[in-house]
Amino acid sequence: MKRAFSVVLTTGLLLSGIGLASAQAVSPEDQIKFRKAGYSFMSWNMGKIKAMTVDNPASYNRDQVLAAARAIAGVANSGMGALFSPASARDVGSERTRVLPEFFQQPDEVRRLATNFNREVNELARVAETGDVNAIRAQFGRAGESCKACHDKFRAK
Amino acid sequence: MKRAFSVVLTTGLLLSGIGLASAQAVSPEDQIKFRKAGYSFMSWNMGKIKAMTVDNPASYNRDQVLAAARAIAGVANSGMGALFSPASARDVGSERTRVLPEFFQQPDEVRRLATNFNREVNELARVAETGDVNAIRAQFGRAGESCKACHDKFRAK
């Protein structure tokens, strides 16, 4: 049953372009560690973009914002779906997770939110190339909404 | 004194192309958290490339290797030098660090190793586009060496 569900989820994530790395076995504990690392690193880079386009636009630096946006897109495009096996749905060893059970029960909704997120952060990297701080700020807002949509639905408070 | 040294280190890292985000204040505790997240996420992606080009080349998937290499380059190019203020040289709060004191005493050597690392992982992303698994495997080896050079010198065992 669990396995059948995993296949459904896997298929959903593959369809969404998140992809899976089939050649590498990652323990459930490491899946939690690596996915939290990815989200944490993206949050640092979102914070930089916010600082330079929302909080203090006078500090805007095109190269730094572009590097931050590309880091986020690179992480988002890397196939993080592989880091959400059913065995990683709860704390494992020393790794704690805030993912909610609903994440593993609603693959269609996960796929929809993940697809939105990937689209918005890739668009953010594209807009960051232009150096148009107003356009970057607007797209940063849309990217942030796409993060929040998943947090609201599938992450414990 | 500490501040003067920080300026030297900062200048060194800027010259190496690592860059600093001046508009965002990140606590020393979060610097450790975010830099460990970045290295951890890169290690997951290095593991995928190793699995698909060294351990089991039959599983090679161009898109997955390319996505992994781009994630690594995106993280490496994102300005991680900003996450190494002198105040982050030791464990802070709940965050533990393995960085050695020598890291903060040898800015020229840090710059040299960081520059090598950035060059090798950007080259890895470039070679990954070609789909030439032998070339990717060779460049993966060089990228791994550039990681190891810094671990050997500036990371506690």
Question: Considering the entire predicted model, what is its pTM?
Answer: 0.87
What ipTM goes with this model?
0.86
Residue A93, both tokens = 């060893």
Q: Do B44 and A34 touch (CB under 8 A)?
A: yes
- pLDDT digit string, tens, across residues B71-89: 999 999 999 999 999 999 9
- pLDDT digit string, tens, across residues A119-130: 999 999 999 999
Give yes or no for residue A107 having a pLDDT over 90. Answer: yes
In this structure, CATH architecture of domain B2-154: Up-down Bundle (1.20)
Per-residue pLDDT at A120 = 98
Beta bridge partners of A121: none
Per-residue pLDDT at B20 = 46
Q: Do B41 and A72 touch (CB under 8 A)?
A: no
> Smallest Cβ distance to A45: which of B48, B63, B78?
B78
Per CB-CB distance under 8 Å, the chain A contacts of B44 are 26, 30, 34, 37-38, 83
- pLDDT digit string, tens, across residues A35-65: 999 999 999 999 999 999 999 999 999 999 9
Q: Do B52 and A21 touch (CB under 8 A)?
A: yes
Work out the minimum CA distance from B2 to partner chain A, whole angstroms: 25
Per-residue pLDDT at A8 = 38
Question: B157 by DSSP, 3-state: which?
Answer: coil
Q: How many Å apart are CA A149 and CA A135, to the nearest integer?
A: 21
Band of pLDDT at residue B12, cut at 50, 70 and 90: very low
Q: For chain A, which residues make up each domain, given as ranges?
A: 2-154
Per CB-CB distance under 8 Å, the chain B contacts of A75 are 41, 71, 74-75
Per-residue pLDDT at A23 = 52
Q: Do A23 and B47 touch (CB under 8 A)?
A: no
Output the average pLDDT for chain B. 89
User: Could you give the percent of chain B with pLDDT greater than 90?
Assistant: 84
Residue type, B55: D
Mean pLDDT of A112-117: 98
Residue type, A129: E
Band of pLDDT at residue A88, cut at 50, 70 and 90: very high
Please choose, from the candidates B38, B33, B51, B10, the residue with its C-alpha nearest in 3D space to the C-alpha of residue A72: B38
Output the average pLDDT for chain A. 89
- pLDDT digit string, tens, across residues B97-154: 999 999 999 999 999 999 999 999 999 999 999 999 999 999 999 999 999 999 999 9
